[in-house]
Structure 1
Amino acid sequence: MSHSRRERTESDSNTVLSALGNKYSAEILCAAGSPKSAQALSEDIKIPIATCYRRIEELVDAGLLTCEGRQLSEEGRRTNIYRRTLDEIEVDFSDTEPQYSQKRRTEAKNRLHDQLHE
């Protein structure tokens, strides 16, 4: 799959780079290769749930994580399920402003991943 490139505003780049620069963001993205709730992500990477929710919000705002739907938790509450939207991101600092390109995850890859990990 090729890297997708689109015109990005300085604000887009700043949002993405800021989200990636926060503590635990990379760990959340790594753990969210398959659909997971905030609680599961928090437990997987051993961070407080409040911190996990803040990072999730930043990653969703930056377009790096998406809410794939809702499911019932063990306590019977409806919870959002998240998955990362990309597999790779490359940052280029050679210009006056950082530029990035990303390798997006396809629906086909998500379905295959889900089938292999059921």
Structure 2
Amino acid sequence: MSRSRTETNEADSAVVLSALGSKYSAEILCAAGTPKSAQALSEDIEIPIATCYRRIEELVDAGLLTCEGRQLSEEGRRTNIYRRTVDEIEIDFSDDTPVFSQKHRTEAKNRLHDKLTD
């Protein structure tokens, strides 16, 4: 399966770097390889739910995490389900400004992963 590699512009780079620089962001991205709610992510990496929601918002704004839909929680509330949009991020610091490239997850890879983990 192919993964597309894209480079981001300087403004996008600043947003990505800021989001990645926040505590717990990398852990959230790693845990969000499969669709999970904010509550599940919070429990998986043992961080306060308010912190998890803030980091999720930053990662969504940076395009690194996406809301895949909604599902009912055990308490019967509708909750958003998140999954990371990238498998790799490369940062090149050799120029005056950092240059980012990302390997995006394909929908085919997501579907295959979901089938294998069911």
**Is the pair's TM-score, using the shorter chain for normalization, greater than 0.5?**
yes
Poorly superposed stretches of 4+, deviation over 4 Å: none
Separation (CA, whole Å) in 2 of partners of 1:104 and 1:2 = 6
Determine the structure 2 residue equivalent to 1:83: 83
Determine the structure 2 residue equivalent to 1:4: 5
Give the root-mean-square deviation of aligned CA atoms. 1.0
Separation (CA, whole Å) in 1 of partners of 2:3 and 2:34 = 22
Helix, strand or coil: the match of 1:115?
Answer: helix
Q: For this pair of structures, how many residues does the alignment match?
A: 117
> Could you tell me which amino acid in structure 2 is paired with residue 4 of structure 1?
R
Alignment of 1:1-118 (within 5 A): 1=2, 3-6=4-7, 8-118=8-118
Q: If the length of structure 1 is used for normalisation, what is the TM-score?
A: 0.95
Mapped contact 1:3–1:101 kept (Cα < 8 A): no
Separation (CA, whole Å) in 2 of partners of 1:73 and 1:5 = 35
**Unpaired runs of 5+ in structure 1?**
none
**Unpaired runs of 5+ in structure 2?**
none
Separation (CA, whole Å) in 1 of partners of 2:79 and 2:89 = 28
Distance 1:13 1:76, change over 3 A: same
Alpha-carbon deviations, 1:25-61, whole Å to 9, x = none? 0000000000000000000000000000000000000
Mapped contact 1:69–1:80 kept (Cα < 8 A): yes
